[in-house]
Amino acid sequence: EIVLTQSPGTLSLSPGERATLSCRTSQSVSSNYLAWYQQKPGQAPRLLIYGASSRATGISDRFSGSGSGTDFTLTISRLEPEDFAVYYCQQYDYSIRWTFGQGTKVEIK
Amino acid sequence: EVQLLESGGGLVQPGGSLRLSCAASGFTFSSYVMAWVRQAPGKGLRWVSTISVDGGATYYADSVKGRFTISRDNSKKTSYLQMNSVRAEDTAVYFCASSVPGSGSFDNWGQGALVTVSS
């Protein structure tokens, strides 16, 4: 089973700052199948990025994804108040399994 | 507007059964893979099960294999999760999600249904 490890666990930043979130996988994964989600308290997750770097419909261009192999990154260029939330990476592999990382909480400093 | 609405959650005793439903609207249900993802209180997301567009293929996490069954009725635009022999560790909010075939990601989510397993 592929394990996804996100870091840091918590990121304390101020509005307007840049956020860089990391997702490392225990085995190389296809970039086609790496996604990022945002979840706010009491809400369902929302797809931000799919295919490692493609923004989902309606997602601000402040959000960008990059990476390949075992190292992937979600960058939020300038944090807005509504961006403070928990972020999850997720991968799909050829053993027909979907796996999530443990999440990174972006909190207001 | 795309909508996924879960129902059927509640309190169930260990060893009991429960069926969750996910009613879809606003998109061509029969063209999308459907899945269930759960989140235990205060924890992260865990994939539970996925079903192909025609229901011919189903996939399960090891933790629920043999106990849970996913199904769908394209005429009713509804997906189901039959949960049998439930355990305390199955306590979670269960989200229904849709996926474009072959994308590997979940593009739309319901608001979730809380399942509590307790005596």
Q: Phi and psi at residue A83, in whole multiples of 5°?
A: -85, -10
Question: Hunting for tokens 């304390």 — which residue is that?
Answer: A12
B80, containing H or E segment: strand B78-83
Rounded (5°) CA angle A65-A69-A72: 25
How far is it, in rounded angstroms, from Cα B61 to Cα B81? 13
Predicted confidence at residue A94, as pLDDT, reads 80
Q: Nearest by CB to B104, which of A33, A39, A44? A: A33
Which residues does chain B have within 8 Å of residue A39's beta carbon, measured at their own beta carbons? 45
Mean pLDDT of chain B: 97
Predicted confidence at residue A95, as pLDDT, reads 81
How far is it, in rounded angstroms, from Cα B82 to Cα B17? 7
CB atoms < 10 A from the CB of B93, how many? 20
The two tokens of residue B118 are 């307790």
CB contact (8 A) between residue A100 and residue B111 = no
Measured in angstroms, the CA of A78 and the nearest CA of chain B are apart by 24
Residues recorded for chain A:
109
The two tokens of residue B63 are 């933790």
Nearest CA in chain B to A104: B44
Answer yes or no: is pLDDT of B94 > 90.
yes
pLDDT tens-place string over residues B1-39 = 999 999 999 999 999 999 999 999 999 999 999 999 999
Which of B12, B63, B13, B10 minimizes the C-alpha distance to B36? B63
Rounded (5°) CA angle A59-A96-A44: 35
The two tokens of residue A69 are 């192999």
Predicted confidence at residue A31, as pLDDT, reads 85
Task: Look at residue A31 and give its three-state secondary structure.
Answer: helix
Which residues does chain B have within 8 Å of residue A44's beta carbon, measured at their own beta carbons? 95, 109-112
pLDDT tens-place string over residues B34-69 = 999 999 999 999 999 999 999 999 999 999 999 999
Q: Is residue A72 less than 8 Å (CB to CB) from chain B?
A: no
Which residues does chain B have within 8 Å of residue A32's beta carbon, measured at their own beta carbons? 104
CA torsion angle for B49, A9, A60, B95 (degrees, to 10)?
A: 20
The two tokens of residue A47 are 């797809």
| Sequential pLDDT tens for chain A (109 residues) | 899 999 999 999 999 999 999 999 999 998 889 999 999 999 999 999 999 999 999 999 999 999 999 999 999 999 999 999 999 999 998 888 999 999 999 999 9
Running DSSP on this structure, what letter comes out for residue A43? S
CA distances from B71 to A22, B35, B36, B49, B94 (A): 35, 10, 11, 10, 15
Which residues does chain A have within 8 Å of residue B106's beta carbon, measured at their own beta carbons? 35, 37, 45, 47, 90
